[in-house]
Structure 1
Amino acid sequence: MTYALGMSLESEAGFNEATTMLEEGFFARLITWGLVSALLYHLLAGVKHLIMDAGHLEELESGTMAAKATLIAGAVAILLAGVWVW
């Protein structure tokens, strides 16, 4: 991804080449989807931890429920990211 960013910032031809690579390359899309998925899950888990730091969802039962909700929301977000990338 850093390579594609650098290529796109060099010139207009580099931008067009990077765009083509990301639009037509399966491997580039797979990497993009993986990075976006990791960032989305990390964001959702971070929000859960901020809520726990505020003193909520700290008991075992509510913490387990929050963990399951984070996993489900993460799975939905990852599927939506896959639709967006492809």
Structure 2
Amino acid sequence: MPAPPRAAPKFLNLAQIRFPIGAIASIGHRISGVLLLISLPFLVLALERSLRSEADYAALGTWLNSPWRALLLVVMVWAATHHLLAGVRHMLMDIGIGSRLAQARMSAWSTIVAALLIALLAAMRWLS
């Protein structure tokens, strides 16, 4: 007897799926980790150049003065902050602290909002 026909695959439109806040915090943790990994060679190069001489330090500061480059720095501040806060959140939940649903939702919101606020404060400092 032949197998019954399979249903056609369904198209998942990720833009229409409503993710829970914990999933958004977790996805942000992964995205921020990738951004940090990609930025490491550039950050090491900037550190090396800034320590070479006063003139190189001043040149790096001038180079970073562009609004687009400052925006890039703000994104990196968000990535570092979000990755740190979400990592601490995940570790605490792994040992049973804050793993109840209401607590997990609150810590996810806190992580997202705190990382955004710190990035906005960095933006205000650099752009002023």
TM-score, length basis structure 2: 0.56
| 2:116 counterpart residue number | 75
TM-score, length basis structure 1: 0.76
Among 106, 110, 125, the alignment partner of 1:65 is: 106
Quick one: higher RCO (CA 8 Å, sep 6+), 1 or 2?
2
For structure 2, the 5+ residue unaligned runs are 1-41
Give, in angstroms, the shift of residue 39 of structure 1: 0.3
1:1-86 map, 5 Å: 1-2=42-43, 3-22=45-64, 24-86=65-127
Q: Provide the rounded CA distance (Å) in 2 between the counterparts of 1:33 and 1:11.
A: 25
- Give the % identical residues: 35
**Contact 1:44/1:70 (8 A) holds in 2:** yes
Give, in angstroms, the shift of residue 9 of structure 1: 3.2
Bigger radius of gyration, 1 or 2? Answer: 2
The root-mean-square deviation of aligned C-alpha atoms, in Å, is 1.9
